Amino acid sequence: MIAEKYTVGVDFGTLSGRALVVRISDGHELASAEHPYAHGVVSDALPGRDVRLPPQWALQVPSDYVDVLRIAVPEAVTKAGIDPADVIGIGTDFTACTMVPVRGDGTPLCELDEFADRPHAYAKLWRHHSPQPQADRINAVATRRDEKWLPRYGGLISSEWEFAKALEILEGDPQVYQAIDRFVEAADWIVWQLCGSYVRNACTAGYKGIRQDGEYPSREFLAELHPGFADFVSEKLDQPIGFLGDRAGVLTAQAAAWTGLPEGIAVAFGNVDAHVTVAAADALESGELVAIIGTSTCHVMNSDVLREVPGMCGAVDGGILAGAWGYEAGQSGVGDIFAWFIDNCVPESYQVEARRRGVSLHEHLTELASRQRVGEHGLVALDWHSGNRSVLVDHELSGVIVGQTLETTCVDMYRALLEATAFGTRVIVETFVESGVPVNELVVAGGLLKNRLLMQIYADVVGLPLSTVPSAQAPALGAAIHAATAAGAFDDVRAAAKQMGRRTRGAYQPIAENVALYDRLYREYVALYDWFGRGNDMMRRLRRVGSDETVAALR
């Protein structure tokens, strides 16, 4: 009898890391373990130091990531009840674009005494949005110079990405910038810790690092942004590129001691949490749009055609699967918006009733909202509480609810916000289709799958069959699939996904009556979208009313 073999997938999220043990023969998930980051998201002050942070900052402490390897991985293997010697590979995925400034040996600058009180020395989380002015300048200069790579990103580079964050460090703390030997995607940094060598993965290099057709933006372009930025690529960014599903190296003795896994097993190249989920869904064919809905939403899809799609996060050759054009779009806030509403906008009476019924406030409001007819609340909302990633690519936009009266309840507003996120996804789908990139199926993964009302709203609003990914740990499963490929168990990622990945096809079907009503509401959403997103800069002006610069000018 041939012994079963296993891989471990580790998903590094915004607040925690999750390890999953997966059987290679059929993708069965044996056990998982989660470890919360000790420092979470650093947004108010540096940990243990009297250093306050400005608005829109979101930092992390890289040692928290290593703790996931030390704690979650051994725990998952123990819970799985397997012999660690039967694990043949480990794969990882990460939030993106999360960047770690390091020295040449991989040591994060924030771990050095001389930089521990310097905010720019810490990891910049994906939702660190303060480099919007740098992103605006990158876009303006690229547009004026007619840079050939700009259309691959829908005409706009995000403040979340590598170049804007690096330029912010240069302009905000030149001493920290000079001390950076490598500005590393966290997806690659954690692989560096596992196998002892630093190689970039094709996914983050293409989507977040503006690497197209084997090249980054030119030295001349960078110098025009800032003279001191001219050599950023050659001195701090450029590194050999590894392809998804390939082996980055083997597990070092140190990493084996951390994880309890055998030294020398395959370590897969790093990947992004959203992109790796496509394999978990076995949705690698053209036109299968995978939306990973959590605190934010990332929409990813393979296609056999290359088109210029306005406001997309990138079209990358091999960015999801070798031999296909991988497209990415996204919404900066989804679950975060619902959580904000629960924390700030619900009267005590609803909380009391939820406690009496023994359900969460989300569940209580969802049940009440499900009793409403489409459009009954008379509201339309914009889902921009954390800015707009696609297709406007502007993180200084903000949320709006229109139509409130003295009869409006928190249930009305809650449902309007659920619908707003679905409308945002429809904008993305329609932008793809209008640009010549077909979308045939909407596949949803992530923690919000359990909200059946939300899923039906998405099917009705988008007007497509909605399939679901049954795995509660889809990114970790995707990472484990890539690990199996890197270990040589399959010829390629597509073959591994067919064996180990899965989705429930057509779990939700559009309801014709709801589709017609949502078409009417969507037209109002688009009008609101264009007015605040393209018609004026009111939202940006409001952000500046209480800024330090404005206050100083009034004195």
Spatial CA neighbour of 287 closest among 301, 299, 273, 308: 301
Strand partners, 388: 394
CA dihedral 409, 422, 501, 295 (to 10 degrees): -60
The letter for the amino acid at 195 is C
DSSP per-residue string spanning 446-500: SGGGG-HHHHHHHHHHHTS-EEE---TTHHHHHHHHHHHHHTTSSSSHHHHHHHH
pLDDT tens per residue across span 101-142: 999 999 999 999 999 999 999 999 999 999 999 999 999 999
Where the chain has pLDDT below 50, the residues are 1, 550-551, 554
DSSP structural state of residue 86: G
At residue 410, the pLDDT reads 98
Phi and psi angles of residue 175, each rounded to the nearest 5 degrees, phi first: -65, -40
SS3 track for 105-120: CCCEHHHCHHHCCCHH
DSSP letters for 288-355: EEEEEESSSEEEEEEESS----TT-SEEEETSSSTTSEEEEEEES-SHHHHHHHHHHS--HHHHHHHH
In this prediction the pTM is 0.93
The pLDDT value recorded for residue 548 is 56
Residue (of 112, 121, 226, 104) closest to 163 by Cα position: 226
CA distance 385 to 401: 11
CA distance 348 to 334: 24
Asked if residue 391 has a cis previous peptide bond (ω within 30° of 0), the answer is: yes
pLDDT at residue 544 in the model:
87
Residue 178's Cα: distance from chain center in Å? 28
pLDDT tens digits, one per residue of 33-42:
999 999 999 9
The answer to whether 80 touches 31, Cβ cutoff 8 Å, is yes
SS3 letters across 240-253: CEECCCCEEEECCH
What was the pLDDT predicted at 2?
66
pLDDT by residue (tens digit) across 344-364? 999 999 999 999 999 999 999
Beta carbons of 205 and 97 less than 8 angstroms apart: no
Find the angle CA(187)-CA(20)-CA(302) to the nearest 5 degrees.
Answer: 55
C-alpha 279/C-alpha 93 separation (Å) is 12
Indicate the helix (H) or strand (E) that contains 372. none
Torsion angle, CA of 226/146/155/140, rounded to 10 degrees? 40
Report the pLDDT value the prediction gives residue 546, as an integer from 0 to 100.
73
CB 7 within 8 A of CB 480: yes
> With 0-12 CB in 10 A as exposed, 13-18 as middle and 19+ as buried, what is 553?
exposed
C-alpha angle 185-188-190 in degrees, rounded to nearest 5: 110
The pLDDT value recorded for residue 549 is: 55
pLDDT at 528: 98
